[in-house]
Amino acid sequence: MLAAARTAFAERGFDGATIRGIATAAGVDPALVHHYFGSKDKLFLAAVEAPADPDEVLPAVLAAGRDELGASAVRMLLSLWDGPARPAGLALIRSAVSNEWTAKLLREFLVAKVVGRVVGTLGYSDEERDARGALVASQLIGLVMIRYVLCAEPIASASHESLIAAIGPNVQRYLTGELEPPAPARPRPHPPS
């Protein structure tokens, strides 16, 4: 049941998936879905929140040394997305793009619970942590978009090792490289005085 919902949300996004379709895919009656979950929103939350617990995988990422964090993050992302977490991840992304409240869900999950926590171990100021975290997120989401959403070659079929070797160093630069703080706001054109 939840598996069918996850699959449907992953393939068509929140707005595109239908309760009727999910119910028939699961071999049950559409009315049962409402009986169990109450609404489409709650069904989505139940389908997506189950397999997305960062506490289970973050320690493995952080176990890498400071200079291997980038490669470690890419490796974890690939092993999750090429494992059982892909439907939930696709459901989140496909839904977030056209639906405001799922976008908020993804944004907060991603920034606060995942990337922020990884960058948070590096001892930066809050501003720099958020800036570096957003840069890391941009590369990782881009990888997900190309490999799993748009399915553009050769990245869609590339091996984990080759992607880690190609992308890991770039993520590493965002994490620990020297870079001017990506100004949170416009570099004030003319200071107050």
Which residues of this protein are in contact with DNA, per CB under 7 A? 17-21, 28-32, 34-35, 38-41
Considering only 20-28, 38-46, 52-60, 107-115, which stretch makes contact with a second copy by CB under 8 A? Answer: 107-115
Select the binding partner of residue 20 from a second copy, DNA, none (C-beta < 5 to 8 A, by kind): DNA
Alpha-carbon span 57 to 77, nearest angstrom: 10
Q: Number of residues interacting with a second copy: please give it, by CB under 8 A.
A: 58
Please compute, for residue 47, the number of CA atoms within 13 A of its CA located in the half-sphere on the CB side.
Answer: 33
Q: How many CB atoms lie within 10 A of CB 45?
A: 14
**Residues 6+ positions from 139 with CB-CB distance below 8 Å:** 167, 170, 171, 174
Per DSSP, the three-state class of 92 is: helix
**Residues 6+ positions from 32 with CB-CB distance below 8 Å:** 23
Select the binding partner of residue 138 from DNA, a second copy, none (C-beta < 5 to 8 A, by kind): a second copy
The least distance separating DNA from the CB of residue 26, rounded to whole angstroms, comes to 10
Select the binding partner of residue 184 from a second copy, DNA, none (C-beta < 5 to 8 A, by kind): a second copy
Q: How many CB atoms lie within 10 A of CB 19?
A: 18
Q: How many CB atoms lie within 10 A of CB 97?
A: 15
Nearer to DNA, 105 or 140 (CB): 105
Pick the binder of a second copy from 5, 61, 167, 175 (CB under 8 A). Answer: 167
Considering only 28-36, 49-57, 78-86, 181-189, which stretch makes contact with a second copy by CB under 8 A? Answer: 181-189
Do 175 and 82 meet the contact criterion of CB atoms below 8 Å apart?
Answer: no
Point out which residues bind a second copy (CB under 8 A).
Answer: 12-13, 15-16, 93-94, 96-98, 103, 106-107, 110-111, 127, 130-131, 134-135, 137-143, 145-147, 149-155, 157-159, 161-163, 165-167, 169-170, 173-174, 179-187
